[in-house]
Structure 1
Amino acid sequence: MQASPNTKASFWSHTMYRDPKTADPDFKRIKVHYCKTKEVGETVAKYFLNEKVIGFDIEWKYDFRPADIKENASLIQIACENRIALFHISLYKGKTADELLPPTLKTILESPDIAKVGVAIRGDFTRCWTYLGIKACHQIELSRLHNLVEYRDMAPKMVNNKLVGMAKQVQTHLQLPLAKGDVRKSDWSKPLTTEQVEYAASDAYAGFRIYDVLEMKRKAMKPVPTPPAPFDWD
Structure 2
Amino acid sequence: MTITIVDYNVRDYSHDKYDVVFHSETIHTLVTHTPSMVDAWLSNLPRNSHTSNSLVGLDVEWLPNRQCNMDNPIAIIQLCINRECLVFQILRASFIPQSLVAFLENQGNTFVGVGIEQDVEKLLRDYSLRVANFLELRTLATQRLGEYVRGAGLKTLAAHVLGKDIEKPRRITMSRWDNFKLTPQQVQYACIDAFASFEIGRILYDSRV
CA offsets per residue over residues 20-59 of structure 1, 9 Å max, x none? xxxxxxxxx4311111322222222223484711100000
Aligned length: 186
Distance 1:109 1:147, change over 3 A: same
2:162, 2:200 within 8 Å by CA — same for their partners in 1?
A: yes
Distance 1:14 1:129, change over 3 A: farther
In structure 2, distance between residues paired with 1:170 and 1:163: 13
Distance 1:41 1:173, change over 3 A: same
Q: Share of identical aligned residues, percent?
A: 23
**2:9 counterpart residue number:** none
Q: CA deviation at 1:64?
A: 7.3
**2:87 counterpart residue number:** 86
Q: Could you tell me which amino acid in structure 2 is paired with residue 61 of structure 1? A: L
1:35, 1:41 within 8 Å by CA — same for their partners in 2?
A: yes
2:3, 2:22 within 8 Å by CA — same for their partners in 1?
A: no
2:83, 2:195 within 8 Å by CA — same for their partners in 1?
A: no
Q: CA deviation at 1:102?
A: 1.8
1:14, 1:206 within 8 Å by CA — same for their partners in 2?
A: no
In structure 2, distance between residues paired with 1:90 and 1:60: 9
Distance 1:146 1:41, change over 3 A: same
**2:22 counterpart residue number:** 15
Which structure has the greater CA radius of gyration? Answer: 1
TM-score, structure 1 as length reference: 0.71
**1:150 counterpart residue number:** 145
2:124 matched to 1:122? no
Gaps (5+ residues) in structure 2? 5-19, 48-52
Residues 1-234 of structure 1 correspond to what in structure 2 (within 5 A)?
8=3, 15-18=22-25, 29-48=26-45, 50=47, 52-63=54-65, 71-93=72-94, 99=95, 101-151=96-146, 158=147, 162-182=150-170, 183-190=172-179, 191-218=181-208, 224=209
Q: CA deviation at 1:17?
A: 4.6
Taking only aligned residues, the RMSD between alpha carbons, in angstroms, comes to 2.6
SS in 2 for 1:30: strand
Structure richer in strand, relative to its length: 2
SS in 1 for 2:44: helix
In structure 2, distance between residues paired with 1:200 and 1:133: 22
CA offsets per residue over residues 155-182 of structure 1, 9 Å max, x none? xxx399x442111100111112211012
**1:232 counterpart residue number:** none
In structure 2, distance between residues paired with 1:64 and 1:143: 27
TM-score, structure 2 as length reference: 0.79
Structure richer in helix, relative to its length: 1
Distance 1:166 1:211, change over 3 A: same
Q: CA deviation at 1:139?
A: 0.4
